[in-house]
Amino acid sequence: MNRRLVFYWVIGIIVTAIVVAVAFHFDDAMQNLIAQHQSRMARDFMRNVSRFGDWPEHFVLGLVLAGIAWWRGSKKWARIFLAMLLACALAGVSARVVKTATGRARPSVKSEEIWNGPRLSSKYHAFPSGHAAASSAFFAVLFFVNWRIGLACLSIPLLIGFSRMYVAAHYLSDVVFAALLGVLCAILVERSLLRSKTKSRHAAEA
């Protein structure tokens, strides 16, 4: 069982590396495509998506949903929503650490050096997208628990990620890497918090 798990992780890492490399390759092409399809209405819409698609909004949504679930007596869904919050926070913190360490200039910043090393200025916090990481982690947990509901909500992190590229805050690779980071955080939280809880309950019932 352990060998199979290691095999899956190795395959996952290889696939992730390939996907991120492809995303880097198409960074400029995606930026040019977006630049050619700009409109005032779309920019205003995407700015609002970016504004309300950050981690505080996800956090508030998760707290509200957890509160409603607890009030209605559903401890299962209360745990799920809390797990979504935890995954969101973990992805947000991880993204913050990486972006501060890499110092990638945002597309809107005119800089000779794209990668500048550790920087505190948000102008050099392009890689990865914190919005995309937090949103992906938040909804990925939901997908792992109930794929039908999660699939229906998939458009939310996709739209948030695209909005970050549209407003020239991130490159395609920033968003893709962030989404994969969010999914990884969701897997870790789901396995350690929700799945272990389910196993403990089954063991107690046996």
Q: What pLDDT score does 1 carry?
A: 52
Do 23 and 177 touch, CB atoms closer than 8 A? yes
The residue with greater pLDDT, 196 or 97, is 97
- List all residues 6 or more positions away from 109 whose beta carbon is below 8 Å from its beta carbon: 123, 124
Domains parsed from the chain with CATH numbers: 2-205 (1.20.144)
What are the tens digits of pLDDT across the range 13-47? 999 999 999 999 999 999 999 999 999 999 999 99
Dump pLDDT digits (tens) for 131-158. Answer: 999 999 999 999 999 999 999 999 999 9
Q: pTM (2 decimals)?
A: 0.89
- pLDDT for 77 equals 93
Q: Is 55 exposed, middle or buried (0-12, 13-18, 19+ CB in 10 A)?
A: buried
pLDDT at 109 (0 to 100): 86
At 183, list the tokens: 């999914």
